Structure formats: C-alpha cells, structure tokens
Structure 1
Amino acid sequence: MTLQHGLDSQIVVVGCGISGIGAALKLAKHGFRNVRILEATGRSGGRIKTGRMGNNIIEIGANWIHGPSEANPVFCLSRQYGLLDPESLTAENQSLDIGGHPPWLPNWFSSSGRKLTVEQMGPAMELFGELLEEGSEFSHKGGEPYNSVGEFLRIKMRQRVAERWQGDSLPCQSLRLSMLNTLLKVECCVNGTHTMDALGLGGYGLYKTLPGLDCTFPKGYEGLINNLMKELPTGIVSYHHPVSCVHWQREARKAERVHPVTVECAHGERIPADHVIITVPLGYLKKYHGTLFSPPLPLHKLHSVQRMGFGTNNKIFVEFDKPWWDEDCDVVYLVWEDESDLVDQVADVERLWFKKLFGFSVLKPTERYGHVLCGWIAGHESEFMETLSELEVKHSMTNLIRKFTGNPTITPRRILRSQWFHDPWTCGSYTYTGIGTCVQDIHNLAQPLPLNGEQPLQVLFAGEATHPSFFSTVHGALLTGWREADRLISHYSTPSTHQPTRSKL
C-alpha cells in the first residue's frame, strides 16, 4: 500500500493534549488530509494548563521542562518558538546533569517553630539521595529483593542510621529521622503516588533523566501549546466531543465495512475511521477501559493497564505580602518532629491531610511572581484536599506556616490549588511504575490493536504512560505522539504483506 493511498485515510486522534497534537501535526505535515482531533473539554493542552493568580502566571499542570537539552524535543520546540529566557538556553545550562534532582538551596523549619541548620539536616539529605540511587539499580539487575521501593528505603534507612548516627545525640537522630520522613513525602510527589510502598522496585529505575537544569516558561507552558496549534490545519479539533466508545474489529474482514473503526461520541455522533490514536491519560483508561473499547482490550494489555500506577500530585500556591524564607531559598521543607517512624501516609486523612504536604518550592524570579510559594502534596491526602473549599485550604495553610515559622501573624494574601484527581478527563496526575511492573507492561500499553488481522493499526496508543523511559513527562508524551504518527506513515510507506505481526516499538 503506497503512502499516496494512505493520505486519504480517516484518522481520529482522541485527546488534544501535547501527545495528540504532536501526532496530528506530524501526520498533517506528511500530507494526511483527513485527520481529526476529538477533545472532551473546551481547551487544548490536557495536563499542560497555565493559570493566573492575580497578575502572576502559574502552572496548574506541567511545571518544568525536565532536562532542557538537545535530546529533549520540548526544549527544542520551545527554543524555536522563542518561549524561554536566555539563561535556559546557555550551553552550560544544557550540559548540567542533575540526575532528576535540581540543586535547590533549602530552608528547613520544624513543627516546634525552629529554623533548622544544614549541619542538622545535611546528613539526612545525603543518606536519602544515596538510597534513591541504589534503589534505581534493580531495574537492570534483575530480581526484586524487597516488596516495594518504600520497603527497600525504610529497611536501608534504619540500617544506615544505626551504622552512621549512633554517636549522635537522641534528639539529633530523631530530628534527622523526621527529615527522612519528609523526604519520603517528597518522593511521593515526584512519582505521583500515594505511598512509596506502591512503587515496584523492578520498574523504579526505568525512568531516565536528560541533561540540563530544569527550566520554566516565563509566559506559561501553554505558550508551547498555542504555537503548536497554530501549525495545525484550521478546524481540525472538535472541542466538547468526549468519546464514549471505540468500536474496532478483532478479526477484521474487508467485507464487513469500509472503515474498520467507528468512534462513538457521547452526544451520539458516530465517526468512521481507518485508524484511531488514543492519547487519554492512564488514569482515565484505568477507570473507563471497560466501556471505552468494544470488543474489550486484550487481557495482557488490560493487565498492564491495571499494574501500571497513576497517582495524584497537586499544587497549592500561596501568596504573601513579604517573604518569610531566605532570599536565596529555592525550597522550604517542613519537618514534623512527631514523625520519625519513616511513614509516608497520614493516619487520619480528613483531620490531618496537610501533614502530607512536604513543603514549598519558591517561585522565581520574584520580579515575575512576587512572593509566591508552591506547596506540593500527593496521594489520598491530596485527593481529600481537593474536596475542601478554597477558604478551608487557606485556613490550613495559614495555621501550618504559623506553626512552623513560630510567627503567629503570617497571613497569606490568597491561595490557588490544582484539583487533578477530580478532573473527570484525567483522574489524577501522571504515571508511575507500580508493584510488579516491568518495561514489557509499557510496551503492552503502546501496542496497537488488533494484534492480528487483515486490517492492522486500527487502534494506536500514545501518551506519557506509553513511553518506556520518559513516562510522567511532557517530552515523553510528545515523543509517543510522534511515534504513533510515524507508525502510520511507515505503514503506508511500505508494501503490505497481509501478514501482520506484533508491532515493535
């Protein structure tokens, strides 16, 4: 089958996040004339969502370009569109290899209202970083000697603490254990999981970082989306078009119908298609796979959907009249002195949900953002936070900050929070490797349907969850959209043998 023949194929892309946009744009640039994007909401961008807090631009969704270097397509496009500040574009910035952990300057505050020192907290930070590095090695070592990343970290932390800190005073040891507790909560946010006990040790090291010091967009991440949308053919996106079911043919026969796939929209429209590219978040797929596909997903694919993790990580932006943190501070850690048992879950979520918030990153530069902190909170505590009123959240943040600073007069001007779990089209934030997952599960997620048949590539899958090493990232999402577009381009560029095989990534 020639590429010329394929250019008239009816292709439907489900979802107008960066993965769907990337797929549609690449197909359009290769001459495919009948590409349509169906978007459930009234906006493009998906989990890239820029908002405002007064006059300040804030990122409700994706925050950084992780690893802004030549290997990162998001960085290259953003540079091309002129969306980044000069510092982010320097060769030095691109060459820094931070291993996924930015060299932020911290302030530490304890629940007794004390500001802590680097001498007190440094050993805990060093030990935790060391163990994260060790934990990521099991993905290529083979075997999982511990049930989860959480179990591995706790056992190793207790061993090393006993070895290294036995000469320190008990109050000092206890304080450092409390800091380790805080760092477990940090990792819950980084991974988008309720607890590190939900992370599989074998899959933990699959995530790969790129060189470059993480950077942000001076005028908002949505600037990237807006520039990409301008390159798409006019009218290609149908907004407010949620898809209720994708009808495909397990054993496709040419006589059955001209187009092997029918995309059924919630409002009743039925769209015939030769190919459908699904780019919905894994959280949505977990919740609705049973009704979204007819016939259902093959069992091996379904099991991978179930094994892979998808959690919630929310932000709480808090604005102040003046800073109560140091001028050079990049991150504020909250150290609960009554938490030294290395547990990353709150026992009484409704009453104490705010204890899961590990602290705040400082929005910089001040000239752009004013005095704004971004609080980070993951898991069920984060999901509960979404159900509270903004006033209740502001009250909790006020009490929390007054307690840790020891200053009873600090009062936030306003707050704004994200609510990704209760967003009906995302059902959370991003993907992590759950217990029992391996790279094959990600390949299974990305595998097109049907597995056999005369009309292959009916249903293709893209999105951050389908990238074997960049899951949970914007660049991972974009690369998978391009991958599926390339799959179709390649399909029509090579002669069909009518002996389809399992598609390889």
Structure 2
Amino acid sequence: PRVLVVGGGIAGLGAAQRLCHRAFPHLRVLEATGRAGGRIRSERKFGGVVEMGAHWIHGPSQGNPVFQLAVEYGLLGEKEMSEENQLVELGGHLDLPCVSYASSGRNVSLELVADMANLFYTLLDQAREFQHVVETPVPSVGEYIKREISRHMADWTENNETKKLKLAILNTHFNVECCVSGTHSMDLVALGPFGEYTMLPGLDCTFPGGYEGLTSNIVASLPKDILVFNKPVKTIHWNGSFREETLPGEMFPVMVECEDGDRFPAHHVILTVPLGFLKEHLDTFFQPPLPLEKAEAIRKMGFGTNNKIFLEFEEPFWEPDCKYMQVVWEGSSPLEDAAPEPKDTWVRKLIGFLVLPSFGSVYVLCGFIAGLESEFMETLSDEEVLQSLTQVLRRMTGNPQLPAPRSVLRSRWHSAPYTRGSYSYIAVGSTGDNIDLLAQPLPADSADAQLQILFAGEATHRMFYSTTHGALLSGRREADRLTSLWHTKAQPPQPEP
C-alpha cells in the first residue's frame, strides 16, 4: 500500500518509524516546514540549548514511550533514569518558588505562598473528581475553583491587606494552570472531563542535550528519502478514484494536493497536523468536507497558546540555588475579571521565571505566559518585549538600577502558520468523546473503503492530550491500525471444513 504521513512532528515520525519496521516500503512523510520535530524545537543559543517548544518529559517512567526512547537513545543522565525518580508521584503539582516577588518590589512570605499553593492544588485535585457525575455543579474548572475559594475566604481571619495578597497569589496559580492547560482562562476548561487526563509517575525531567535529540534519532532510524520537507499540504481529496501516470492500472482512494501543485495519490493518509491548524483550515482542507460531527468535534475542542520568553543576563541577580521565581501581581484576584486591554497589561499574565541551568558564564531566565496576552506578545518587537520585561524585573526586585537583560528570545506558537497555538484541552461544551471522534478514521461507515484518512497527534489521545508521549502513542496507534488491516488482507482465506 501507498501510505502518506502528513506532518513530521513526533506523531508523524512515530507512525513512520512503526510502519518502516513493519515493512511498508511505499511511505512518505510530507512536512510543511524545513525541519522535523513539529512542536519539539530546540535551539542552540546563549552557549547552550533552549527548548522553544516541548520542555519536559512528563512522567518519565516505564509507561512513558518518550522516556523509553530517550533511555534507548542514551539521551538522559543517570539521575533522570534512576529508580527513585521514576517512582515520584507529583500529581501535576509544581514545585514551590524559592522566591516570590510582589509587583511592588517586596518579597512575599514563602509560608503564605505555600499555604495558597496547598489550597489551590487541593481544589484542582477536587476538580478532577467529576468525570462520572451526570451533571457538574458548574461548567468549568475555573468557576468551580473560584466558587470553592469564595467559601474558604469566609474562614480567613487576617487583615484586609493579607486577604488581598492571598487572592493575588491564587491568581498567579490560575495563570500557571493556564500555561499547563494551554488555555486563555480556566473558565474555558470543561469540569466534567478534566479528570480524564492521566498523569504518569516520575519526576518531570529535561533532555540535557535538547529535546530535539529525540526526533533526530527517530529521523536517523528512517530510510533516507522518506521525509519530504517544505511540502505544505493544501487539500486532502478522499473517497475518490485517483490515478497516477506511472501506474495506469491502479486506482487510489486518496489524493494529497500540496500548496506547490504537487499531487500524491495514496491508499492511506495518516494526518498528524496540530488541532490549531485544522481549526483554521477546516473549510478548505478536506474534499469532500469532513462529516458534520467530526467537524463539530474539531470546532468544539480547545486549543490555546503558551509561550516562553528567554532573557540572557551577564550576572545573575538571583540566589545560586534558585530554580523558580514567582511574580505576584498585587491587586489581581481570580474572583474579578481582568481588564481586556492587553496593550499595557499583557505582562500581568506572566507567571514568573524558571532559572535555566547555567551555560558557563551565561545566565538565562525563562518566563512563561499563556492565553490572549501571550498571543498579543507575539505581535510586539523583541525590543518592546525586552523593555517591558526589564520594567517588570525592576519593579519586582525593587531595584530600579537592575541591568537590562543582554538579549531576548521567545517562542511564537500562535503565529506559526502550521501550528496556530501550543496544545489542546477539553473546552467547555466538549468532552473526551470529541477526542475519540477526532481520532476515528475516515470514511466512518464503509467496509470497502478502508482507512483512507487516519488521524493522529496529541489532540487525538484521550488520556494524554497536550503531551509529547500522547502524540507519539497516537502515531503508533494509527500505524498499528494500518498494520492490522493489511495483516488481515494478507491472510489467505482458510478452506471451510
């Protein structure tokens, strides 16, 4: 069979690797850009490697195929592979900051920070318990946690200023969770299915030499001419009868038309493009259009933006053992709607800065920001971003003389034409069933026209959506689906007894 994989991210590479092992000789991977890896993108910068996209292996333990491959390819250190690291259960809770700065330049009590983290994560864990409830008390995770916070506030005995500070710390946690979920607001994340997302055990870890080591190794394991770069696909024509001049007798049910006019007939297409791209091109990408309920599932599912801003410093202004600095925006509260003007206030969505392992004499902070403010940030120049963040750092440290960062580097996932955001979440109005519906091959109902378009990518994995391991597993799942189809076809019919 002729198989085309559309998209050279980890889902597409995982499918191709699986199919090559199963001896599918007529295989091509069409990648829209000039590089493989998709939302895995490591850049050599600041004398080291920084991750523009995927950052951690979430749950690096035996049940995680990304971890298994990383071990197989020798990409991790001993600590990352150690038995005890694999047994740690984090439950999706982030480490506490080593310093918490209020926006007025004072330090926030770490005891208060720990109390509020404890409250927030208790409520977040409770929000995962509604998956088997017929009707949820409120539609979204955000509304549920806010309702519970209001109840807890009745028992707060501190003075007014401390109560306000507590709310501001909780607001930072909401912003962190927006980064984790890849959403503008937790009010957009559906409460009922929230608990279906499954966390694997293991202490989240990074790749010392860059995440791209993983995709490079997969690419190296594939036959040379399989990957075709700079080949954006315009339309997938399916349920048809297409010919190719070199094979006059053969009919193909699918034909992939590229932006440059090239056409590739195929028996099967494994589509691994991001959900953000599908949302944007839904009306033109499939000919005939997708069945209504599948198109509806794509529209309803959530897909948001989470970006990183790297700042390079000549000298660190933080303590040597500091790993994460939190920013608490005073006056902010999760119980009040933020002003909709991102122009001057976009920085208030920033959750703080991770301190990256130092590259020799270079010191780098990595800020995270999600949602519409993050998308607005993409429209600014490097100079504007650098200026804004210098002001933020001077405000929070209370040091108006703090030297400006030497340089800035940032991701722009929303502007990336073949991605249009970061990753998926289950939005209010959709359920895990929408993910399964998106993952169903086409055509849905006919036994003769088997598996013309198969769907993979992180947004098609019901338990591990938004993750690299979810994407990898989805690609393998569709490769296995094709393998079993052809395995069945290859079995000679047994004579009847």
Shorter-chain TM range is over 0.9
Residue type of the alignment partner of 1:284:
F
- Separation (CA, whole Å) in 1 of partners of 2:394 and 2:345: 16
Answering whether residue 301 of structure 2 is matched by residue 311 of structure 1, we say: no
Q: Secondary structure at the match of 1:43?
A: coil
> CA separation of 1:12/1:344 partners in 2, compared to 1, >3 Å: closer, same or farther?
farther
Map Cα deviations across residues 374-420 of structure 1 (whole Å, 9 max, x no partner).
Answer: 10101111001001100100000000000011011222121111000
State whether residues 458 and 464 of structure 2, in contact with CA within 8 Å, keep that contact through their aligned partners in structure 1.
yes
Letter of the 2:107 partner, please give it: K
Task: Tell me if 1:320 matches 2:310.
Answer: no
1:425 matched to 2:456? The reply is: no
Q: How does 1:79-478 map to 2 (within 5 A)?
A: 79-163=71-155, 165=156, 167-249=157-239, 258-343=251-336, 345-364=338-357, 366-367=358-359, 370-410=362-402, 411-453=404-446, 454-478=448-472
- The answer to whether the 8 A contact 2:300-2:430 is kept is yes
Deviation, 1:256, is 11
1:486 corresponding residue in structure 2: 480
Report if aligned partners of 1:110, 1:337 keep a CA contact under 8 Å in 2. yes
Shift of 1:119: 2.2
Q: Secondary structure at the match of 2:89?
A: coil
| Displacement of 1:151 | 1.0
Where does residue 4 of structure 1 map in the other structure? Answer: none
Kindly provide the amino acid, as one letter, of the partner of residue 305 in structure 1: I
Kindly state the Cα deviation for residue 320 of structure 1 after the two structures are TM-superposed: 1.8
3-state SS in 2 of match to 1:189: helix
Structure 1: gaps of 5 or more residues = 1-8, 498-505
C-alpha contact (below 8 Å) 1:202/1:436 kept by paired residues: no
On the 8 A contact 2:52/2:308 being kept in 1, the answer is yes
Deviation sequence 1:438-486 (CA, Å, 0-9, x none) = 1211100100000122111000000000001100000000000000000
| Aligned match of 1:503 | none
| Contact in 2 for aligned 1:13/1:38 (Cα 8 Å) | yes
Deviation at 1:238, TM superposition (A): 0.9
Deviates more, 1:151-160 or 1:479-488: 151-160
Relative to the length of structure 2, the TM-score reads: 0.94
The residue identity in structure 1 corresponding to 2:185 is T
- SS of the equivalent of 1:455 reads coil
**Partner of 1:116: helix, strand, or coil?**
coil
| Worse-matched range after superposition: 223-232 or 367-376 | 367-376
Contact in 2 for aligned 1:120/1:172 (Cα 8 Å) = no
Q: Is the 8 A contact 1:203 1:434 kept in 2?
A: no
- AA in 2 matched with 1:469: M
CA distance in 1, matches of 2:312, 2:401: 15
Contact 2:104-2:395 at 8 Å conserved across structures: yes
TM-score of the aligned structures, taking structure 1 as reference length: 0.93
AA paired with 2:68? C
Moved more, 336-345 or 45-54: 336-345
Structure 1 partner of 2:245? none
Separation in structure 1 between the aligned mates of residue 12 and residue 332 of structure 2, nearest angstrom: 43
Give the conservation status (yes or no) of the 8 Å contact 2:426–2:432. no
**More deviation, 278-287/433-442:** 433-442
- What is the rounded CA distance, in whole Å, between the counterparts of 1:374 and 1:343 in structure 2? 28
Aligned residues: 484
Separation (CA, whole Å) in 2 of partners of 1:14 and 1:201: 33
Distance 1:408-1:32 versus aligned 2 partners, 3 A rule: same
SS at match of 2:251: coil
Supply the AA of the counterpart residue of 1:441.
Answer: N
Task: Name the CA distance, whole Å, in 1 between partners of 2:320 and 2:97.
Answer: 10
CA shift, 1:342, in A, is 3.2
| Partner amino acid, structure 1, of 2:93 | H
> What is the Cα deviation at residue 251 of structure 1?
11
Check the 8 A contact 1:250/1:295 in 2, yes or no. no
Match in the other structure for 1:500: none
User: Is 1:44 matched with 2:14?
Assistant: no
Displacement, 1:362? Answer: 1.6
1:425 shift after superposition: 0.3
In structure 2, do the counterparts of structure 1 residues 16 and 434 end up closer, same or farther at CA, with 3 Å as the change threshold?
same
CA shift for structure 1 position 250: 7.7
The answer as to whether partners of 1:467 and 1:480 remain within 8 angstroms in 2 is yes
Q: Which moved more, 1:201-210 or 1:480-489?
A: 201-210
> How far does residue 121 in structure 1 lie from its aligned partner after superposition?
2.0
Contact 1:22/1:482 (8 A) holds in 2: yes
Q: In structure 2, how many angstroms separate the alpha carbons of the residues matched to 1:415 and 1:363?
A: 14
2:241–2:252 contact (8 Å) kept in structure 1: no
Deviation track 1:278-308 (CA, whole Å, cap 9, x = no partner) reads 0000000001021110111111111111111
Counterparts of 1:474 and 1:315, CA distance in 2:
17
Residues in 1 aligned to 2:188 and 2:360: alpha-carbon distance in whole angstroms: 38
Give the Cα separation in 2 of the matches to 1:377 and 1:112: 20
Secondary structure at 1:223 match in 2? helix
Secondary structure in 2 matching 1:301 = helix
Moved more, 68-77 or 450-459: 450-459
Pairwise CA distance, 1:52: 2.6
Q: 1:226 to 1:211 in 2, by over 3 A?
A: same
Q: Corresponding residue for 1:3? A: none
Percent identity at matched positions?
Answer: 49
Gaps of 5+ in 2: 243-247, 492-497
Kept in 2: contact 1:185–1:344 (CA 8 A): no
Q: 1:369 to 1:273 in 2, by over 3 A?
A: farther
Runs of 4+ with deviation above 6 angstroms:
none
Residues 135/435 of structure 1: CA separation in 2 closer, same or farther (3 Å cut): same
Q: Cα RMSD over matched residues?
A: 1.9
